[in-house]
């Protein structure tokens, strides 16, 4: 096997763009989620956390709903060639399972694992190589929130007759829906398939469901992973307290999200190049949020963007759902 991987890097993740995004995060006291996956250390911490807590790794029933969704997606693809695009692929475990199923049907596969983190796409590529040849894997580093020419870029890859299947697993919780959904829809051509997963609020009472899952976030591995961003900038864990709570979507969608804020108990000065940031006692920085949906809310969010839900699979815990969608002509 070659000891070299070709990874394409979109300008949205060039150092100058990333630096601007970092400064904006510090100025606004709202951390762009991409900075939690930036370094090798953060990637490893997140992968460990995901391994320990994600129902898609630990809950047999949740694993099964993904498998059923993969089966249905593969059944829906009638062309001999397929281009699988993993948006925010992370470690690529789910995409690799999907690649294996496509391989079982003798599809000619091209795979684009895409993520904001170079380390993640390399981990995803390594996983994918158990199912496809290296020449068919084209890792792409890009910031989905900033790259507005991605549709052209994805069109360059395979033969025109290939079906396109896009995965968007575990991504919707960490983006403002009104920002990310037009981007996602803009990437899809009419007829493209989308496999989309969301974290759900269990039960019939939405607010109570969100309260029920709150402890899933407030644990040592998640705290350690989220604090890495601040600690690497020179903040000490003892400078304040990381608190988790539930808030309404500020855009007024009616959605709720779990948010983590670091509250400074003493002042701390942080310098990035020539710019200094003074965090005073009593101030807070939002490190993270995660929206919780219901199946009905997912359908209502996707529909106005020309994305029809063809089938859905909900885990028995009602904490996670997978949705097979298709882009309509608009
Ligand atoms: C919750 S993980 C989901 C990973 C994977 N899809 C899964 O289900 O296991 C979120 C992923 O999105 C990536 N990510 C975060 N912000 C991003 C952005 N702005 N553009 C592209 N990827 C991003 C992270 O690096 C991380 O791998």
Res 158: pLDDT: 66
Residue-wise DSSP of 209-225: HHHHHGGGTSSHHHHHH
Residue of minimum CA distance from atom 26 in ligand 1: 90
Ligand 1 pocket test target in 14, 56, 88 with most atoms within 8 Å of CB:
88
Per-residue pLDDT tens for 303-313?
Answer: 999 999 999 99
Q: pLDDT grade, residue 1 (50/70/90)?
A: low
Residue of minimum CA distance from atom 9 in ligand 1: 90
Greater pLDDT, 2 or 279: 279
Res 26: pLDDT: 97
**Residue 50 to residue 177: CA distance in whole angstroms:** 23
Question: Is there a contact between 79 and 73 (Cβ–Cβ < 8 Å)?
Answer: no
**Residue 188 to residue 303: CA distance in whole angstroms:** 14
* From 44-53, 92-101, 165-174, 286-295, the region with the lowest mean pLDDT: 44-53
Angle between helices 93-104 and 60-76 in degrees, nearest 10: 50
**Residue 256 to residue 211: CA distance in whole angstroms:** 10
Q: Which atom of ligand 1 is nearest to the CA of 167?
A: 6
Q: Is the pLDDT of residue 330 over 90?
A: no
**Residue 304 to residue 156: CA distance in whole angstroms:** 28
CA of 188 to the centre of ligand 1 (A): 18
Q: What is the DSSP letter of 130?
A: T
CA of 31 to the centre of ligand 1 (A): 15
Q: Which atom of ligand 1 is nearest to the CA of 93?
A: 9
CA of 208 to the centre of ligand 1 (A): 27
Per-residue pLDDT tens for 81-117?
Answer: 999 999 999 999 999 999 999 999 999 999 999 999 9
CA of 248 to the centre of ligand 1 (A): 23
Res 91: pLDDT: 92
Res 160: pLDDT: 73
Per-residue pLDDT tens for 178-228?
Answer: 999 999 999 999 999 999 999 999 999 999 999 999 988 988 999 999 999
Q: Which residue ranges have their beta carbon within 6 Å of ligand 1?
A: 33-34, 37, 88-90, 94, 115-117, 120, 143-145, 169-171
Per-residue pLDDT tens for 270-290?
Answer: 999 889 999 999 999 999 999
What percent of the chain clears pLDDT 70, i.e. is strictly above it? 99
Question: Is there a contact between 259 and 289 (Cβ–Cβ < 8 Å)?
Answer: yes
In 54-173, where does DSSP find H-type helix? 55-58, 60-76, 93-104, 118-128, 150-155
Q: Is the pLDDT of residue 35 over 70?
A: yes
Domain ranges of the chain: 8-203+293-327, 206-292
Ligand 1 pocket test target in 12, 21, 115, 123 with most atoms within 8 Å of CB:
115
CA of 135 to the centre of ligand 1 (A): 24
CA of 284 to the centre of ligand 1 (A): 24
Instruction: Encode 76-99: b = buried (16+ Cβ within 10 Å), e = exposed.
Output: ebeeeebbbbbbbbbbbbbbbebb
What percent of the chain clears pLDDT 90, i.e. is strictly above it? 86
- CATH class label, 8-203+293-327: alpha beta
Per-residue pLDDT tens for 117-160?
Answer: 999 999 999 999 999 999 999 999 999 999 989 988 888 776 77
**Mean pLDDT, the chain, integer:** 94
With H, G, I as helix, E, B as strand and everything else as coil, classify residue 102.
helix
Sign of CA pseudo-dihedral 122, 127, 128, 134 = positive
As a whole number of angstroms, the longest Cα–Cα distance in the chain is 61
CA of 169 to the centre of ligand 1 (A): 8
pTM of the model: 0.95
Res 314: pLDDT: 97
């Amino acid at each position: 096997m070659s000891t070299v991987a070709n990874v394409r890097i979109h300008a949205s993740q060039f150092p100058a763009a990333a630096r601007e995004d970092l400064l904006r995060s510090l100025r606004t006291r709202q951390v762009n989620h991409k900075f939690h996956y930036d370094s090798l250390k953060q990637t490893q911490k997140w992968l460990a956390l995901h391994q320990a807590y994600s129902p898609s790794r630990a809950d047999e029933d949740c694993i099964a709903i993904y498998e059923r969704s993969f089966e249905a997606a593969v059944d829906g693809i009638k062309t001999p060639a397929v281009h699988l695009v993993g948006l925010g692929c992370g470690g690529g475990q789910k995409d690799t399972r999907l690649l294996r199923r496509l391989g079982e049907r003798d599809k000619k596969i091209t795979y684009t694992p895409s993520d904001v983190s170079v380390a993640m796409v390399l981990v995803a590529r390594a996983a994918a190589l158990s199912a496809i040849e290296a020449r068919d894997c084209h890792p792409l580093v890009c910031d989905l929130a900033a790259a507005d020419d991605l549709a052209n870029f994805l069109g360059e890859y395979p033969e025109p007759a290939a079906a396109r299947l896009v995965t968007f697993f575990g991504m919707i919780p960490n983006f403002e829906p009104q920002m990310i959904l037009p981007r996602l829809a803009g990437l899809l051509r009419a007829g493209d398939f989308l496999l989309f997963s969301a974290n759900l609020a269990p039960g019939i009472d939405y607010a109570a469901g969100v309260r029920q899952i709150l402890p899933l976030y407030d644990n040592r591995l998640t705290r350690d992973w989220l604090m890495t961003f601040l600690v690497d900038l020179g903040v000490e864990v003892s400078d304040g307290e990381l608190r988790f709570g539930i808030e309404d979507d500020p855009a007024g969608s009616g959605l709720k999200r779990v948010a983590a804020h670091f509250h400074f108990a003493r002042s701390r000065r942080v310098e990035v190049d020539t710019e200094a940031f003074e965090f005073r006692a009593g101030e807070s920085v939002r490190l993270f949020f995660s929206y919780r949906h219901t199946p009905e809310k997912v359908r209502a969010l996707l529909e106005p963007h020309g994305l029809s839900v063809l089938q859905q699979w909900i885990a028995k815990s009602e904490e996670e759902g997978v949705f097979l969608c298709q882009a309509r002509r608009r």
